[in-house]
Amino acid sequence: MKNAQVLFPVNVPTAFDYRLPADMTVQRGDFVFAPIGKQMKLGVVWDIVDDDGQRTLKEIAGVKATQPLSAEMLKFISWTARYNCVSPGLVLRMVIRSYKALDPSPVVTHFSPSGILPAKMSPARAAILERGGPFPARASEIAERAGVSAGVVRSFEKAGGMRAQSLAVDGPFGAPDAAYGGMALTPAQRNASDDLIYQVAQKDFNVSLLDGVTGSGKTEVYFEAVAEALKDGGQALILVPEIALTQAGMSRFKTRFGAEPAPWHSQLPDAQRRRIWREAAQGRAQLVVGARSALYLPFPNLRLIVVDEEHDTSYKQEEGVIYNARDMAVVRAKIAKHSVVLASATPSLESLVNARSGRYAHVVLPERPGAVTLPEIKLVDLKDHPPEKGDYISAPLIDAARQVLARGEQAMLYLNRRGYAPLIICRNCGEKLKSPDTDSWLVEHRATGRVMCHKTGFSMRMPKACPDCKAEDTLVPVGPGVERVAEEAARHFPEAKIEIFSSDTSGSPADIAARMARMEQGEIDILVGTQMVVKGHNFPHLTFVGVVDGDLSLAGGDPRAGERTYQTLVQVAGRAGRADKPGHALIQTHQPEHEALAALAAGDRERFISAELALREALLLPPYGKLAAIIISGPDKVKAAAFAKKVVSLAPRTDGVEILGPSEPPIGRLRGMYRQRILIQSEDTVNLSKYMLTWRGRIKTPNKYKFHIDIDPQSFM
C-alpha cells in the first residue's frame, strides 16, 4: 500500500498524508482532490511514500485530468519556501494562479458562410454575408456587425447558408519564429549576442550579466539569445519590472519574432490569465513577457529567463510571499539546468561582484552604436543656484530647457514624487494631514481635488478646514510633486505642450502606449515624469533631462541608498540623446559632494563602484554579508513592542550573527496595525534562512498579531 503526501495551496507548513486507493494511479505533481474536514480541496501530490500501517488515513478522492507539475517545479516551490521562510502551500498558491486553467478550454459555436445559398434569401441573410464578417465568429458578433438578430444567424445556418463549428474560446498564441526579422547588429553587439547564444546552446545552468550602457542595444542582443532558446519548441521568459510599461515594447518582439509574446501580470482579466497559464503549462506559449509572478508559471520546456533591468527594486515582492524574483530566477535556472541573462545599464552590486568573481559570465556593451554618444551629466548645486521663492526649478534647468525647445527638440523634467505636493500642513496649528490608520502623509492631487495615501490607497476629497483645529483655508501644500513641477514649467514655457507621466496619470495600457507614441513622434515638448519614464523608453527627439531633486532617494536609513540614487539617475539621464542628436542632463542637488553624484558628474562608474563596495565590505553588508528582517505588527502599540522584545530574547545564539532592534520603523502604523522591525545581519558563511526558520520555530505569535520574515530586505519603511 502507498500513501500520497498532498500539499494544498494554503498557509500550512507541510503536506498531508492520504491513502491511495488500490485502483488509482497517481504520480508526483498530479493535481488531486482530497478531503479536509467536510470540504473537498484541490492539492498537488508532493510525494508518494510507503504506508506504515500505523494510521487510519482518508483516501484521495480523485485525480484531475491535467498536466502534472514537473519534478523541477516541485523542487523550485520547496526551495522558494525554505529560502524565504514561508510555507510551501503559499508558494503553491502563487503557482496555481487560475484553477480554471487546469480544465480544457471552453468551446463556443462559431459560424462562417457555407458557400451555399438557400432558396429563400432575405435582406437580413444577405446583410450577414455582406457585413457579418470576419468569419468564423459567434452569432452575437455576426449579428451586431450585420445589424440583425442572433436568431437570424442561427436560422440561416439551419437553412444551409452558414456552417457551424465548435472552436476553443482560448485560442493558441502565435508561434514565434526564431529566424524571423533578425536585426543588423554592430560588431560589439554581435560579439555580445554570440556569447549569450553560446551559453543558451549549452542547455545547462549558467548566468550571464549583460552589462551595457543606456542605449547600447541590450534588448536587440538578448533577442538573439531568446531566438536560440526557442529552437525545437523551447520556451523563453522575459521578466520586466512593470508590465504596463512594456506595451509599446511588445511590437519589438513582433518585429523580431513575427508574433507577440504572451503577457503575464497582476492586472490580467481571469479569462486571459486562464489562457496564458494553460498555454504556458502545455508548452504552447513559447514566449512569455511578464512581471515577477510570471516566474512561477509551470513551463515544461523553459530554456532561458531574461531579467531585464535586473537592478530594479520592483522585482522584490513585499507582501504575501516575500521574495526577490531576480534571485529566484537564478535558482529556477539552476534546478532546471538552463540559462539566465541579467540585463542592466546599472547592474546591482551583488550581480556585478558575481560577474567579476567569475560566478556569472560578464558580457559588456561599453558604448552606444554608431556615432550616438552618452549624455553629458552635470550637477546644479542648489546652494549656488537656488530657485525663485516658491519655485523648485533652478535657472540652469530653465535655460537648458529653453535652448532645446528653441531647436525643436524635447525636454524631460524628472521627479519621483506623484501628485501635487507630498505634504499638507495647517499653518494655524501645524498639524500634518495623515491617513486615518497609517503614519503616512497624505499627498495632494490637485488635478483630481483629492488627497491620497500612497501606502494604502486611502483617498478623500481635499478638506477645506483643518481636521484638528477646524480652521478654514489654512491647509497649504509643502514640497513639489510632478503636478506642481508641471504647473511651474507651464509658467516658464506657456507655449509648450506639457504632459505628466506617472502611475496616477498613466491610465490603461492603451493610454500609456498612446502617450509614449506622442512623445516619440515629437508631439510633446516637455514630459514631466516619475520613475515610470525611466524604464525602457526610447524618445528620439529628447535631448535634455532635468532632475528636480537628485537627493530624494538619499534620505532615510536604506544601506543601498547611494547605489539606488546612482542607478536611477544614470537611467533617467540615459533617456537623452539616444538618436543622432547629442543629449545632456542637469541634476539639481544639495549634496554635490556625495560619492554617487560626484561619480555621475565625472562619468566615472568605477569610482562609485569601488567606493561603495569598500563601504559594504567594511560594514559586512551585501554582497559581503547577509541581511534579514522581522516585521511584527499588531493592533496595540505597547503590546507589539513587548512582543518584539520577546522575539529578540528567543533568538538562537550563534557566531557571525548580529541582531539590531527592535525599533519602530519610519512608517510606525500601517492599515491600523502598529509595527516593529528587527534587522539581522550575518556573515556570508551563515545559512541565514535556516537560522531564521529555527528562530521562527520558537515563536508563538499572539492572535491578531503578525510575524513576517524578509530575507535580504530591500525596503526599510
Q: Which residue has the higher pLDDT, 456 or 267?
A: 456
pLDDT given for residue 691 in this prediction: 97
Is there a shared CATH topology between the 187-365 domain and the 376-417+480-613 domain? Answer: yes
Percent of the chain with pLDDT over 70: 98
Length of the chain: 717
DSSP state of 446: T
CA distance 290 to 274: 15
Q: Is the pLDDT of residue 629 over 60?
A: yes
- 245-289: pLDDT as tens digits: 555 567 788 889 999 899 988 778 888 899 999 999 999 999 999
As a three-state string, the secondary structure of 456-476 is CCCEEECCCECCCCCCECCEE
Of 350, 276, 255, whose CA–CA distance to 310 is shortest?
A: 350
Cβ contact 49:26 at 8 Å: no
Q: Is the dihedral of CA 565, 566, 568, 574 positive or negative?
A: positive
The rounded distance, in Å, linking the Cα atoms of 289 and 306 is 9
Q: What is the pLDDT of residues 606-626, one digit of tens each?
A: 999 999 999 999 999 999 999
Q: Are 35 and 61 in contact (CB under 8 A)?
A: yes
129-166, pLDDT tens digit by residue? 999 999 999 999 999 999 999 999 999 999 999 999 99
Q: Give residue for cell 500612497.
A: 454
Residue 303 CB: number of other CB atoms within 10 A?
26
Residue 312 in this model has a pLDDT that exceeds 80: yes
Q: How far is the C-alpha of 558 from the C-alpha of 449, rounded, in Å?
A: 33
Type of residue at 58: K
Task: Quote the crossing angle between the two packed helices 688-696 and 71-84, to the nearest 10°.
Answer: 70
How much is the pLDDT for 228? 95
Q: What is the distance between the alpha carbons of residues 489 and 693, in angstroms, rounded to a whole number?
A: 53
Q: How confident is the model at residue 700 (pLDDT cuts 50, 70, 90)?
A: very high
pTM for the structure as a whole: 0.89
What is the rounded CA–CA span in Å between residue 468 and residue 488? 31
- Say whether 706 sits in a helix, a strand or coil: strand
- For residue 598 the three cell numbers come to 560626484
What number is the average pLDDT over the span 349-377?
88
Name the DSSP class of 652.
P
Q: Is the pLDDT of residue 437 over 90?
A: no
The count of C-alpha atoms lying within 13 angstroms of the C-alpha of 683, restricted to the half-sphere facing its C-beta, is 6
The average confidence (pLDDT) of the chain is 91
- As separate numbers, helices (DSSP H) first and strands (DSSP E) second, the chain gives 19, 32
Least trusted range by pLDDT, from 113-122, 443-452, 557-566, 638-647: 557-566
Q: Domain boundaries in the chain?
A: 2-96, 107-168, 187-365, 376-417+480-613, 625-711
Question: Model confidence at 319, in pLDDT bands (50, 70, 90)?
Answer: confident
What digits encode the pLDDT tens for the residues 544-593?
Answer: 999 999 988 887 678 888 899 998 888 888 888 877 788 999 999 999 99
Termini Cα distance of the chain = 53
pLDDT band at 243 (very low <50, low <70, confident <90, very high): low
What does the pLDDT read at residue 450? 92
Phi then psi for 669, rounded to 5 degrees? -135, 130
pLDDT, tens digit (0-9, with 9 covering 90-100), for 654-686: 999 999 989 999 889 998 899 999 999 999 999
Fold adopted by 625-711: Alpha-Beta Plaits (3.30.70)
Q: Averaged over 89-116, what is the pLDDT?
A: 92
CA-nearest of 36, 176, 42 to 101 is: 42
Specify the DSSP element, H or E, that contains 44: strand 39-50
**Interatomic CA distance for residues 91 and 689, integer angstroms:** 16
| Res 373 pLDDT > 80 | no
**Amino acid, single-letter form, for residue 217:** G
* Cis amide leading into 113 (omega within 30): no
Q: Label residue 97 by pLDDT band (50, 70, 90).
A: confident
- The CATH number of 187-365, from 3.40.50.920, 3.40.1160.10, 3.40.50.300, 3.10.20.90, is 3.40.50.300
Q: Which among 297, 292, 296 has a CA at the least distance from the CA of 324?
A: 292
Exposed, middle or buried, 251 (CB in 10 Å: 0-12/13-18/19+)? Answer: exposed
Q: At what angle do helices 595-602 and 561-573 cross, to 10 degrees?
A: 30
Closest CA to 584 of 539, 534, 545, 538: 545
* Burial call 536-563: b when 16+ CB within 10 Å, e when fewer: bbbbbbbbbbbbbbbbebbeeebbbbbb
2-96 belongs to CATH 3.40.50.300 = no
DSSP secondary structure letter of residue 283: T
| Residue located via cell numbers 502507498 | 2
Tell whether the model's pLDDT for residue 18 goes beyond 90: yes
pLDDT of residue 341: 98
Task: Compute the distance between CA of residue 80 and CA of residue 92 in angstroms, rounded to an integer.
Answer: 10
How far is residue 691's CA from residue 702's CA, in Å, rounded to a whole number? Answer: 22
Long-range contacts of 442-446 (CB under 8 A, 24+ apart): 443/417, 443/418, 443/419, 443/481, 444/419, 444/420, 444/477, 444/481, 445/418, 445/419, 445/420, 445/483, 445/504, 446/419, 446/420, 446/477, 446/483, 446/484
Largest CA distance in the chain: 92
Give residue 488's pLDDT.
Answer: 95
Q: Which of 13-22, 165-174, 560-569, 679-688 has the highest mean pLDDT?
A: 679-688
Considering the four listed CATH numbers 3.20.20.70, 3.40.50.720, 3.40.50.300, 3.40.50.2300, the one that applies to the domain covering 376-417+480-613 is 3.40.50.300
